[in-house]
Amino acid sequence: LAKTTQPISMDSYEGQEVNITCSHNNIATNDYITWYQQFPSQGPRFIIQGYKTKVTNEVASLFIPADRKSSTLSLPRVSLSDTAVYYCLVGDDYKLSFGAGTTVTVRA
Partner 1 sequence: GAVVSQHPSRVICKSGTSVKIECRSLDFQATTMFWYRQFPKKSLMLMATSNEGSKATYEQGVEKDKFLINHASLTLSTLTVTSAHPEDSSFYICSARLGAGSIDEQFFGPGTRLTVL
Residues at the interface with partner 1 (CB under 8 A): 32, 34, 41-46, 49, 87, 89, 91, 93-101
Least spacing, CB of residue 19 vs partner 1, in Å:
21
Least spacing, CB of residue 32 vs partner 1, in Å:
6
Q: Give dist(CA 40, CA 103) in Å, integer.
A: 11
Give me the amino acid identity at 61: S
Least spacing, CB of residue 25 vs partner 1, in Å:
19
Q: What φ, ψ does residue 81 adopt, rounded to 5°?
A: -75, -5
Q: Which is nearer to partner 1, 43 or 66 (CB)?
A: 43
Q: Which is nearer to partner 1, 27 or 44 (CB)?
A: 44
Q: Which is nearer to partner 1, 29 or 108 (CB)?
A: 29
- What's the 3-state SS for 7-59? CCEEEEECCCCEEEEEECCCCCCCCEEEEEEECCCCCCEEEEEECCEEEECCC
